[in-house]
Amino acid sequence: MDNILSILIFFPALAGLLGFIVDKDSARAYGISVATIEFLLALWLWMIFDGSNGGMQFIEMVPLIADFGISYYLGVDGISLFIVVMATLMVLLGMIGLSIKKDIKNMIISLLFLEMTMVGVFLALDAIIFYLFWELSLVPMLYIIGAWGGPRRVYAAVKFFLYTFFGSLIMLVGMLFLAYLYHDITGVWSFAITDWYALVLPFKYQMWLFIAFFFGFAIKVPMFPFHTWLPYAHGQAPTIGSVILAAVLLKMGTYGFIRFSLPILPDASVEMITPIAILSLIMIVYTAMIAYSQKDMKQVIAYSSVSHMGIIMLGVFAMNAEGISGSIFLMLSHGVVSGALFMLVGVIYDRRHTKMMSEFGGLASVMPKYATIFGIMLMASVGLPLTIGFVGEFLVLLGFYKISPIMTLIAGSTIILGAVYMLSLYKQTFFGPVTNQENHKLKDLDKKEMMSLLPLVAIVVWLGVYPKPILEPIDNSVKHLVAFMDKKAKTQEAKDIIISTTLIREEK
Amino acid sequence: MENLVYIALFAPLVGSLFAALFAMTPKNLITAFVTSGLLFVSWVASSSLLMYVMDHGTISVNMMEWIAAGNLTIDFGFQVDAITAVMMVVVTTVSTVVHVYSIGYMEHDKGFNRFFSYLSAFVFSMMILVMSDNFAGLFIGWEGVGVCSWLLIGFWYHKADVSTDVNPSISPSWAANEAFIVNRIADLAMLIGIFLIYWNVGSLNYDVFFAAIPSLENSLLVSIGIALFIGAMGKSAQFPLHTWLADAMEGPTPVSALIHAATMVTAGVYLVVRANPLYAEIPNVSLFIAYLGTFVAIFAASMALVNRDLKRIIAYSTLSQLGYMFAAAGLGAYWVALFHLAAHAFFKALLFLGAGNVMHAMHDELDIFKMGGLKKAMRGTYLYMGLASLALAGIFPLAGFFSKDTILEVAFNEHTYIIWFVLWITAGLTAFYSFRQVFLTFDGDERYKKETDAHPHEVQNFVLVAMAPLAILAIIFGFFMNPFKEFATTILPAYEMSEHTHHIAWILIIVTTLIAVSGIVLAYKKYANGLVRDEKMENSFIYKLLQNQYYIPKFYMEFIAKPYKEISDILWNKVDMKVVDATVDGIAKIIYFTGDKSRKMQTGNLSDYLNWMGVGAMLLIVITALSMSLS
Amino acid sequence: MIGLSHYMILSGLLFSIGLIGVLRRKNLLMLFFATEIMLNAANIAFAAASHYYGDLSGQMFAFFVIAVAASEVAVGLGLLIVLYKKNGSLDLDNLTVMKG
Amino acid sequence: MEQIAFYLFSVLTIGLFLVTVLSNNVLYAMTSLAAGMVLISGFFFLLGADFLGVVQLVVYVGAVMALYSFGMMFFDATKDIKEKNTSSYLVFFLSGMIALTLVIMFSAPIMGENIIASYPIMAGATNPQAVGLVLFTKYLVPFEVAAVMLLVAMISGIILAGKKMDDSLTTKDENHEEDDTFSRKDIK
């Protein structure tokens, strides 16, 4: 099937349109079945994907505005494939665990549209198409937060929207400038990312472009000091919103760095390693400390997301295959783990309508299954070996060690600080005697919740023990990318760094 | 033989998973039987591997690839050589005994099935730790035992936090978190060591790394050595990362016996022994390890002198003995360290299990000042604990005598007389506090009748039987020293005493035995006939200092934990909310404010609009004119 | 000799006079008058340009401008009448429904 | 001759338009506007755009002025218009500046050196002929559109002006007064 990528993108949206005529009571079942089909399609894409090929596959290209080189251009490689699979999986599981009763039909339709935009972002190879999906993804999310959120949902939704929108406008300027430069150099217009890869730009332009792209991506990631929209968005969003936001939307930022900044602007990327690493370190340590002082469970996980995204950023700028592969793997694992953690917080929120840790305590006695799954996810979150969280974190730190041992040491403090806030959360919530009388009658996980959580537990263990099926295609694509960057880098300095970061010290 | 490796490794995992199936159901003896049975299977496999390795040398198996990215390839590879085989047998022996013991000990506990699941999971992690053929695999086990230890220390998670005056460990869950976090600090150093190895050698396999050592710079080796040793310090609770071990006594006693005495805490020693080619190259670091170990030995022994908590005394003595092991390893006598490790595992586990019996009998009362005279009720336990204490004190012909004495000889042989002297003093202290504890618990007046409402009784017979293997090993293990040496030195460097030391060895033995015996005699005199409280001494500065563990936990609490919490709160309330977020909101507010102000321009009067339009038009024209005239 | 510049300056001056009217007057009818002046000023410029460059396009534009002006007057006057019926005055100061 | 005509017309137009803009009496304003239009057609004739001049006369002086005059009948044209001119300083400053910049711009000798006529005036044809040729060839579509636009404008003008024509303003006002008196009585 040649058009599988298009089907993958537009199937949920078309199904979402049809969803308008579905009966309200069967909307959830409809949504789940659509998401299941979409997930199966994604799995099928993975099956027919050639893991040993590091380049783009299943390319589709239809010129849209030929004069300006804008085309409908899709493709998938090892970097994007798994994020797409993960996105479809998280939407499916999120829908299964959906506990919202109000306007369920609108929610399902919004989710399906959101799914289209998310898949579209990761499959687009044309900057304009990429940008379209990128911005469109804000709309359903805005609606989800604004319509089903907590008491300050409007503030949170508007902040989320305007903040990220501001960043992406600067990114758009960068894209247009890049296209202009491309036209200037080659004489033809093109917005195809793969065409831009071939472009060798003067260093000065690279820096400006890097900064423009940086704003778009960094706000999405969100990097310190642009992170403050995230706690609000998570704090106010409904469970499903937080799940999708943490699992997929944040990954768009780091994916953007890998897809745009590194291959198009290799010299500037090398130049910017230190500033970005410093920001990432601040993110890692600072937000981990803030997470520790939170009183709301969801906020802890929200800030922990920022901290983990810091590690991912560090991996992206490790400039070697270990680090970049690790950071892509960490994107997946963070998606699964933080998604699961948000679902878990949602479970307790559904029962008690509060997320304050002080309201709980001793839940492990009342809800053992819940405590077990939470414990597994917690351990994955703090990067325990043989869970999914370790592989990525280990590779990222390993990769970045080549750039700077001291910075790696500081970044490595995440394994300590992460344990501090996560264990503190777990202790306050699950350990100790049951102090609050209301907690005595809490019900353990029901079938629906188990259905949505158990697959994630299985993935956490499976990919922790045997990450190869995923790591190998990622690694092939990343090696491709690193080799390409090295070839393309203009300044000798950048070349040296890219080469040296991949080399093992030779024996004397 | 490969199958045996897998059986030894995975039998505990299977047991753990099986027990986990029943984790949320009421007590079911089948979990205990299955896990214990599978551990026995693992023990049999380990023992046969030991035999095999003795005859045929190292076995290596490669199960599958784990992580491959860039140039890095990490396999699930396992190798069984002399060190590993010894560790495996020690681990499976003690854990099988502990499993069987726990059937009795946890009899009435609600989390019976869960307990066995955790315990077996721990054994599995420990097996991975000792069997891996690369540092990443070691790290899996390293973290795995950390988590199992977290689970098991916090096993009675439902207990509430209390102030440190009531219980220095606050609560099981608090102690569990402390243990995990402190270990993580050390793990970070260990990771750094792993990164250093990878980026300089290109592989994490022991063999590749050890083969590459001669080609690496000394400064690099020093860094690697220090990083790995910091990792070892965390797991083996060496100063200054030692506080978690005493608090870890909050866990059920079988856990203390298995994890916090016999196996997990010795992982650090194992790492140093395993990395002996590295440490042999960096004598300065090794010497530092020896000195630190010596310091910890006396440091911990001093705290044990005055403590009143049955389990904490044993925990400190564990700490002290770990110090001995590090001293030996640091001085280059790796096989001696390993030998002491094994011997210690047997008698210390026995001691802990005995303490468990006492606890059981006393309804979880741990204060030895409130016991006394228990020997009438608990003859078997008395015997076991006395035996174990004798072994710990290093009295001939028990296991501790041989191992500890050899360490002292080594210290003497290396001409590090300070180490020898300190360790010698510590031997005396060890004997004293061990028997202080034994006498206070079992001899003298029956204080418990006044102080508590416990009715002490001996434990079930099968529990006593289960403890027997440990007792036997504590007695006879010392006689296997020579075969052990032969076997271990197939892998480890053979450590030979100099002629001179050989000559005066018997003097050293006598001197050491003398101080041990005098420690015991002192304890007997002071405590065997009942407790006489000495108010003046108990109020003295040194006594208070020792009782409060040199105020180190308090120091950590006041200067690390609390400031961290405060800084976090400040960062959140002040920096993140008031600076970072306020800036963003400030920008939004400025925009809103300008909009609000300029709204007044919209008077609704067309004439005003036209005027504004005129201003705009003029500006445009002026700009056009200027740009035209400029160009 | 009269050149293009002369016509242009004249047109500029007339335009400014129209602008004065537009800006100063508050009566809508007078505004219309001022608008007509501005349109005519533009027409002069078009015609002059057309003449001096020998290109008819300028005249064509002026022609269309006149057409637009005529339509504008028709529609505008209609609106004025409606407005007058409603308010009884054509003073701009009374029309402040768009106040923000 | 041409110069005399140009300057004469210029002075007159400027004067007349100033009257239009500054006068308080609508009648004066309109009269001077009409006169100014006539003079502008004079410029067109001067520039050789005969057809345009005629159109100017017909449309502006004829149609537009007539429309205005009719329109004025609705409004009270005899009264002087009272306006509050609050910021005439600004107005004069702005307009003066614009005039100044325009004058400077247009008098600067930088523009228009290399403009090429795309529809040159045909030799041997009179201006109306040439206009006709261009208008019905190159500008046919705009011409038609303009025609439609005029039609639309006419219809809309009729509809807008014809709204509520059946009740006259004066009678309406009287009715209102009556209503008011009635209501006042009622209250009393």
What DSSP string runs through B404-463?
HHHHHHHHHHTT-HHHHHHHHHHHHHHHHHHHHHHHHHHSSS-THHHH------PPPHHH
| Chain B meets chain D (3+ C-beta pairs below 8 A) | yes
pLDDT band with cut points at 50, 70 and 90 for residue C100:
low
CB contact under 8 Å between C30 and D21, yes or no, is yes
Q: What pLDDT is recorded for position D79? A: 65
CB contact under 8 Å between B605 and C93, yes or no, is yes
Q: Which one of B605, B622, B624 makes the best mutation probe of the D interface by having the most chain D beta carbons within 10 Å? A: B622
Distance (Å) from the alpha carbon of B198 to chain A's nearest alpha carbon: 8
CB contact under 8 Å between D156 and C78, yes or no, is yes
Task: Report the C-alpha gap between A391 and D74 in whole angstroms.
Answer: 86
Neighbours of chain C (3+ CB pairs under 8 A): B, D
Contacts of A415 in chain B (CB under 8 A): 184, 187-188, 191
pLDDT score of D180 more than 60: no
Task: Report the C-alpha gap between D45 and D39 in whole angstroms.
Answer: 10
Report the run of H or E that residue B65 belongs to, with start and end. strand B59-69
Classify residue A476: in a domain, yes or no.
yes
Q: Of A190, A192, A168, which Cα lies nearest the Cα of A74?
A: A192
Question: Which residue of B lies nearest to D109 if distances are taken between CA atoms?
Answer: B629
Q: What pLDDT is recorded for position D185? A: 44
Tokens of B257: 């016996």
CB contact under 8 Å between B611 and D108, yes or no, is no
Find the Cα–Cα–Cα–Cα dihedral A112, A118, A119, A121, rounded to 10°: 150
Tokens of A20: 């308008």
Q: Is B599 on the interface with C (CB under 8 A)?
A: yes
Percent with pLDDT over 90 in chain A: 63
Contacts of B628 in chain D (CB under 8 A): 105, 108, 110
Distance (Å) from the alpha carbon of B619 to chain C's nearest alpha carbon: 15
Into how many domains does chain A fold? Answer: 1
pLDDT digits (tens, 9 = 90+) for D74-105: 776 666 666 666 566 777 777 777 777 777 77
Classify residue A165: in a domain, yes or no.
no
CB contact under 8 Å between B618 and D98, yes or no, is yes
* CB neighbour class for C70 (10 Å; exposed up to 12, middle 13-18, buried from 19): buried
pLDDT digits (tens, 9 = 90+) for C14-46: 988 888 888 888 888 888 888 999 999 999 989
pLDDT digits (tens, 9 = 90+) for B331-352: 988 999 999 999 999 999 999 9
Q: What pLDDT is recorded for position B340? A: 92
- The strand pairing partners of A62, in sequence order, are A72
Return residues 6-25 of D near C (CB < 8 Å). Answer: 6, 10, 13-14, 17-18, 20-21
- The strand pairing partners of B61, in sequence order, are B78
Contacts of B620 in chain D (CB under 8 A): none
Tokens 């006079």 belong to which residue? C17
Q: Is B556 on the interface with A (CB under 8 A)?
A: no
Task: Report the C-alpha gap between A463 and A337 in whole angstroms.
Answer: 12
Closest partner CB to B188 (pick from A225, A292, A415): A415
**Residue range(s) defining the domain that contains residue A311:** 284-480
Q: What pLDDT is recorded for position B124? A: 93
pLDDT score of B616 more than 70: yes
Q: In this structure, how many other beta carbons lie within 10 angstroms of the beta carbon of residue A205? A: 16
Q: Which one of D27, D95, D126, D173 makes the best mutation probe of the C interface by having the most chain C beta carbons within 10 Å? A: D95
pLDDT digits (tens, 9 = 90+) for B47-67: 999 999 888 888 889 888 898
Mean pLDDT on B63-72: 88
Domain C4-93 has CATH 1.10.10.10: no
Mean pLDDT on B557-583: 90
Task: Report the C-alpha gap between C15 and A114 in whole angstroms.
Answer: 55
pLDDT digits (tens, 9 = 90+) for A127-158: 999 999 999 999 999 999 999 988 889 999 99
Q: Is D102 on the interface with B (CB under 8 A)?
A: yes
Cβ-Cβ contacts under 8 Å for A86 (sequence gap 6 or more): A247, A248, A332, A335, A336
Comparing A64-73, A494-503, B103-112, D132-141, the range with the smallest average pLDDT is A494-503
CB contact under 8 Å between B605 and C96, yes or no, is yes
Tokens of D56: 């100017």
CB D119 within 8 A of CB C57: yes
pLDDT digits (tens, 9 = 90+) for A36-55: 999 999 999 999 998 888 88
Work out the mean pLDDT of chain B and round it to a whole number: 88
Tokens 């202790």 belong to which residue? A427
Q: What pLDDT is recorded for position D183? A: 43
Domain D1-80 has CATH 1.20.120.1200: yes
Contacts of C64 in chain D (CB under 8 A): 142, 146
Task: Report the C-alpha gap between C42 and C57 in whole angstroms.
Answer: 14
Comparing A359-373, A482-496, C18-32, D160-174, the range with the smallest average pLDDT is D160-174
pTM: 0.85
Q: Where are the beta strands (DSSP E) in A32-101?
A: 57-65, 70-76
Mean pLDDT on B12-27: 89
Mean pLDDT on C2-7: 82
Q: Of B312, B319, B324, which Cα lies nearest the Cα of B352?
A: B312
Q: Of A484, A480, A458, A313, which Cα lies nearest the Cα of A392?
A: A313
Mean pLDDT on A234-238: 90
Task: Report the C-alpha gap between D96 and A406 in whole angstroms.
Answer: 68
pLDDT score of B523 more than 50: yes
Question: Which residue of D lies nearest to B607 if distances are taken between CA atoms?
Answer: D85
CB D139 within 8 A of CB C60: yes
Structural domain spans, chain C: 4-93
Closest partner CB to C96 (pick from B604, B611, B614): B604
Size of interface B-C (CB pairs under 8 A): 32
pLDDT band with cut points at 50, 70 and 90 for residue D109:
low
| Chain C meets chain B (3+ C-beta pairs below 8 A) | yes
Classify residue A425: in a domain, yes or no.
yes
The CA–CA distances, whole Å, from B245 to B153, B233, B259 equal 10, 12, 10
Closest partner CB to C23 (pick from B599, B604, B614): B614
Using alpha carbons only, give the angle B79, B81, B83 rounded to the nearest 5 degrees.
Answer: 115
pLDDT score of B84 more than 60: yes
pLDDT band with cut points at 50, 70 and 90 for residue D181:
very low
Classify residue A120: in a domain, yes or no.
no
CB contact under 8 Å between B610 and C23, yes or no, is yes
Helices A405-430 & A297-316 angle (0-180, nearest 10): 160
HSE-up of residue C59 (Cα within 13 Å, Cβ side): 35
Return residues 112-151 of B near A (CB < 8 Å). Answer: 136, 139-140, 143-144, 147, 150
Q: Is D91 on the interface with B (CB under 8 A)?
A: yes
Q: Which one of A165, A450, A500, A504 makes the best mutation probe of the B interface by having the most chain B beta carbons within 10 Å? A: A504
Comparing B68-82, B281-295, B568-582, C18-32, the range with the smallest average pLDDT is C18-32
Question: Which residue of A lies nearest to B76 if distances are taken between CA atoms?
Answer: A465
Question: Which residue of B lies nearest to A232 if distances are taken between CA atoms?
Answer: B581
Task: Report the C-alpha gap between A326 and A323 in whole angstroms.
Answer: 5
Q: Is C11 on the interface with D (CB under 8 A)?
A: yes
Q: What pLDDT is recorded for position A300? A: 92
Report the run of H or E that residue B67 belongs to, with start and end. strand B59-69
The answer to whether the peptide bond before residue B252 is cis (omega within 30 degrees of 0) is: no
Q: Is D158 on the interface with C (CB under 8 A)?
A: yes
Comparing B571-580, C40-49, C91-100, D155-164, the range with the smallest average pLDDT is C91-100
The helix/strand/coil state of A60 is: strand
CB contact under 8 Å between A430 and B157, yes or no, is yes
pLDDT digits (tens, 9 = 90+) for B448-476: 887 777 778 888 888 888 889 999 998 88
Distance (Å) from the alpha carbon of D14 to chain B's nearest alpha carbon: 20
pLDDT score of D187 more than 50: no
pLDDT digits (tens, 9 = 90+) for B237-250: 888 888 899 888 88
Q: What pLDDT is recorded for position D179? A: 46
CB contact under 8 Å between D87 and B611, yes or no, is yes
Mean pLDDT on B207-213: 91
Tokens of A55: 């380049």
- The strand pairing partners of A356, in sequence order, are A296
Contacts of D97 in chain B (CB under 8 A): 618, 622
pLDDT score of B306 more than 90: no
Work out the mean pLDDT of chain A and round it to a whole number: 90
In terms of residues, how long is chain A?
Answer: 508
Percent with pLDDT over 70 in chain B: 100
Return residues 110-129 of D near C (CB < 8 Å). Answer: 112, 115, 117-121
DSSP secondary structure code for residue B600 in this structure: G
Mean pLDDT on A168-188: 92
Question: Which residue of C lies nearest to D84 if distances are taken between CA atoms?
Answer: C26
CB contact under 8 Å between D94 and B628, yes or no, is no
Tokens 């078009």 belong to which residue? C46
Q: What pLDDT is recorded for position D178? A: 45
Question: Which residue of A lies nearest to B185 if distances are taken between CA atoms?
Answer: A416
Question: Which residue of B lies nearest to D102 if distances are taken between CA atoms?
Answer: B621
CB contact under 8 Å between C93 and B607, yes or no, is yes
